[in-house]
Each structure stands twice: as structure tokens, then as C-alpha cells.
Structure 1
Amino acid sequence: MPPALQALWTTLPTPDWLALALFFASWIGYALWAKRRALTQPSILATTNRWRRQWMLQATRRDNRIVDAAIAQTLAASPSFFASTSILIIGGLLAALASSEQASELVREIPFAARTSLLVFDLKLALLSAIFVFAFFRFTWSIRQYSFGAILVGAAPEADQYDEAARAAFADRAGQVMGLAAETFNDGLRAYYLSFAAVAWFFSPWAFMAASALVVWVLYRREFHSDVLAALRH
């Protein structure tokens, strides 16, 4: 084992390792579970995917698709905003890593914040940086997928050149692309939510574990039991 990893293994207390394991198990486990759960219980994403298909079906009946292009551009604006924000956050975290000794002293002044070694403090900053790097990649991929959907809308034949089978096939294809873009955007938002759980690690590993469980519960409620989901299904 490299000396740095060996030092980290011996320096990081057992509760911190447990908190890290719970955090990643919660994130990965919930993402996989939510995707499978959506097959049997309607979720926000699955329900809006049906509306996206309906949108693409209506687009085949319009000769002028300026409205559809404007909607696609508006949808791409959200991941673009979050991608730009992620860059700023990553820059701030890297700056904190470069001056981690001063940042560690500042955090120690916060009431109830855990007193840890500089190595552990750097690990906490590195975890936050990794979360926002992941979010940045998901947001930028979402932007590209929305652009692919806009290309499909622009390449669609005129309304009178469709038969019903062609309309359904186009709606399935374009709706799926838009749905994948939304799913990727959702992955980035989920990373933003879980970053708040990672912030709790600066206070204690127990707060980190509690925050991880709380964030997953909030995500579950919003994806499967929210008021907007009930409105979309009616």
C-alpha cells in the first residue's frame, strides 16, 4: 500500500470510513433502485417522459416548429446554468485545497465542527470536489443530449409527409432522446443534493451518515410521492 494511503487508512477513524461507505452505498444504491422502481411505480422522470413523447407527437403535426425549438433551448438552459456553477464551485474547492491549512483553521472556528488532521480535512475537500466534477460531466452531457433532441426536431419532415406509424416512430425516438437528457440532468441534480450531505462531514461522521440518509429520503419523496407528480399523472 502506498505511504499516503497507509497514512490515510490509519489516520481516518472507523466512524469516518463507515460514513463514507454509507454515503456511496446510498448514492449508488438509490440511483439503481430508483431506476428499477420506476418500472413498477410512476416516478417524476417516467411520468414526464410520457409527456415528452406526447410533445414530440404534437411536433409532427405542426408546420412551424419554432415553439418546439424554443422549448428545447429553454430545457438546455438549466443544465448549462448548473454546469457553469459547478465550475465556479470546483475552482473554489481547489483554491481551498491549495491553502488547506488556513481553511482548516477557519473550519475549526465553526461551532460543533470536528477537529481533524490536515490530511482528513483535505480528503473532505477532495470528496466535495469529486462530487461537483461528476455533476459537471453529467450537466454538460445533458446539454449535448438536448442539442441532439433539437436536431431531431429540426430534421423532422413536414406535417403532411407523415403517416400515423411514422409519427409514432418519430415521437418514440425523439421523446427517448429528450428523456435521456432529462435523466442525465437528474443525475447532476442528485449529486448537488448529496453534496450537502458531504458538507455535514465537516461537523462529524455521524452528522454525515444522518445527512446521507436524510438526503436520500428527500430524493425519494420528491421523485415518487411529490405533489407535482400527482398533478402530472392526473
Structure 2
Amino acid sequence: MELLPRLNILDWPDAIAVALTVVLFLAIGWAVEHPPKNRPSVSLLMADYRREWMRHFVTRQQKILDGTVITSLRQATQFFISGTMLALGAGLALVGNPEQLILVANDLNLQAQAVVVEVKVIFVLLFLANAFLKFIWSHRLFGYCAVLMGSMPNSEDPVAYHRAGQAAELNVTAARSYNRGLRSVYFALAALGWLLGPWTLMLTTLLTAGALIRREFASESRAIVMQRVE
């Protein structure tokens, strides 16, 4: 019960800033995964390429390239698993050390109590924890996909294209988890702005949301992916 009075310094701008961050995080995730039919996101466009990849995989004679690609995808998730794990460990160590939190507050010229800085750090850690779990699941799904690719029979076998479809959907699902993890990392960086105050959090959140929307719906890379041979 003693915690509530100590959090009185968190005023309504803090509540609005936190709510804005959470709402935009969820809204952008929904928009990326359920875009308008006339304006597909990069993630959705790449899902079609992943399915096409598995269809070509069935008839490709040399499959070394495919194994290399799936390995590189798993290595990417491993990198972020390690990175988020280190960040989580550092954040938890900071939360468990009130003296360090006071030093952080002093370095940032904040007039906040240690418990307030602690709450703000925990807010960042929630995004990092979500990213960590998403990356782990993505890594596992890419592994499942690799197993299905390895079990795929020759193209003459009627099971081949069914197995290719299964591998493709696992690949798409793994990529979806990977993208969700990346969005969590982006918003964890945005959440760091709260250490400088609610208005800074609103600004960093809006900038992050704008960057994600632009990259998914209005980027040069999207225009390149959209180019198809007629």
C-alpha cells in the first residue's frame, strides 16, 4: 500500500502517454497483419514470396541454397534472442538495485523517486520480454519448417506440394512472430523516452509508429517488392 503514495508523481500525462504507447503498439500490429486489400503491407507481400519459395523448392534439384536461407533466418532470430536476453538481464539488475536507479534519475536530471524510475524501466522490460518470447517461438517455427523441408519427397510424389504448403505456412507464421518481436523492440526503444517524461514518451511513440507505418506501407523496399513480372 505504501507504493501508491510514492507514485503520485505519475500524473495524467503519464497515463495518457502509456495508453498511447500500448494502443499504437496493438493498432500497428493489427494494421500490418490485416491491411486493406488495396494496400498490402510488406509483411503480407513477403508472406506470398515465402509460399512461392516453397513451391519452387519442390522442383529445385539443388537444395543447398534453401538450406542456407532457412539457416540464416534461424541465425537472425538467435541474434535477437541473445540481444533481448542481455537487455532483460541488465534491466532486471537495474530494477533490483535502487541505488543505481537513483543515480540514473540524477544523471537524467529527474526529480523522480527511485520507485518511479523503476516503474518506467519495468514498462520497457515488458516490451523486451514480449520480444524475447516472440523471437524464441519464431526460432522454433523456422526449425519446424526446416524439418518439413527435409521430409519433402520428390516432385513426382503427390504429397510433395501438400508438404510444401505446410512448410510455407510454418515459414509465414515464424516470420509473423519474428516481425512481432521486432515491433516490440522498436516500442521498447520508444518506451525509454518515458525516462525523460510523459511528453517525451508521446513523441518517441509517435515517431516510432510513423517509422513502422512508413516502412510497411510507403517505403522504397515495399515498392521494390511490389514489382512483379507481367
- Equivalent in 116, 121, 132 of residue 120 of structure 1: 116
SS at the partner of 2:60?
coil
- Equivalent in 179, 187, 190 of residue 194 of structure 1: 187
Structure-2 separation of matches of 1:40 and 1:116 = 48
- Equivalent in 4, 12, 26 of residue 14 of structure 1: 12
Q: Kindly indicate whether residue 46 of structure 2 is the aligned counterpart of residue 48 of structure 1.
A: yes
> For residue 142 of structure 1, what is the aligned residue in structure 2?
138
Gapped regions of structure 2 (runs ≥ 5):
none
Shift of 1:173: 2.4
| Per-residue deviation, residues 195-215 of structure 1 (Å, max 9, x unmatched) | 121111111100101111111
Structure-1 separation of matches of 2:212 and 2:67 = 30
Letter matched to residue 116 of structure 1: A
Residues 36-45 or 74-83, more deviating: 36-45
Shift of 1:31: 1.2
Structural mapping, 1:53-202, within 5 Å: 53-110=51-108, 113-162=109-158, 167=161, 169-202=162-195
Q: How many residues get paired? A: 227
Structure-1 separation of matches of 2:49 and 2:36 = 15
User: Do 1:138 and 1:187's aligned partners in 2 also have CA atoms closer than 8 Å?
Assistant: yes
Structure-1 separation of matches of 2:203 and 2:24 = 11
User: Do 2:131 and 2:180's aligned partners in 1 also have CA atoms closer than 8 Å?
Assistant: yes
RMSD: 1.9
Letter matched to residue 175 of structure 1: A
TM-score between the two structures when normalised by the length of structure 1: 0.90
TM-score between the two structures when normalised by the length of structure 2: 0.91
- Equivalent in 17, 28, 44 of residue 30 of structure 1: 28
Letter matched to residue 99 of structure 2: E
Shift of 1:9: 5.6
Structure-1 separation of matches of 2:51 and 2:168 = 4
Structure-2 separation of matches of 1:38 and 1:138 = 25
Letter matched to residue 10 of structure 2: L
Gapped regions of structure 1 (runs ≥ 5):
none
| Per-residue deviation, residues 41-84 of structure 1 (Å, max 9, x unmatched) | 22111111111111101110024423212211111111110001
